[in-house]
Structure 1
C-alpha cells in the first residue's frame, strides 16, 4: 500500500473518530489510546466499526479490530511464545507493536489509533 493510501486511511479514521467521540483533531495521534485517552465506550466502538465498514467497504471483524480476545488468547494458549500467538491472531499488527502491547497490558486497554489504521490497511 502506498504512502498516500495510508495517509488517506489515517485522515478518514481521524475524521470518523472526531465525529463519533466529538473531539478535536489535535486530540488524536497515532499513539493515542482509544479507551484510555479518548474515553471511547462500547457504543462508540460499535459506531466506529459501522463507519469503517461504510467508509472503506470492508467487512469488519470487531473481535480482531478491537483486540477483544487478546487477553483470552494469552491466557488459553501456550505462553512460551506470546508474540507468535498474537502475530497469528492479529496479522495486521507489526512485531514491534505486539511487543509494545505485551509490555503495556498491565496498564489497561491497549488499542491505539494506529492499530485501527493498520487493520483497515491490512483488510483492504
Structure 2
C-alpha cells in the first residue's frame, strides 16, 4: 500500500498492532540433529495447531471483509457528481475485494465491480 491510500485516516490515529498469529517466527524449532522422534512429533503437532489457528484467523478476517463489502455496497456517496467521493469509494471497495482474494489479489475484479456499481448509480468519474 502506498502512503496516499490512508489519506482518509486521521494523522494521529495509532496503528493497530500486528496479531501474533501473523508472526511466522512464533513457533521456534530447535536444532533438528538434537531432536528425538517425540520432539519432532511434538513440534509437528504444535505447528499444525498454529496453522489451524492462523487459518481460523484468516477466515474470521475474510468474513469481516465480506461484511465491510456488503456495507460499502449500500453506502454510496450522496451525489453521483461528487467525483472525489466516488473515486475514494471505488478505491476502498476495490481494496476490500482484492484483500478478500488473498495474497495474489483479484486482477482488478473489485475495482471493476466498483466501477460498475458507481455507473449504476450515475457516477462516471475517473473510469480508468
TM-score category by the smaller chain? under 0.3
TM-score by length of 1: 0.25
Q: Which has the higher contact order (CA 8 A, sep 6+)?
A: 1
Rg comparison, structure with higher value: 2
TM-score by length of 2: 0.25
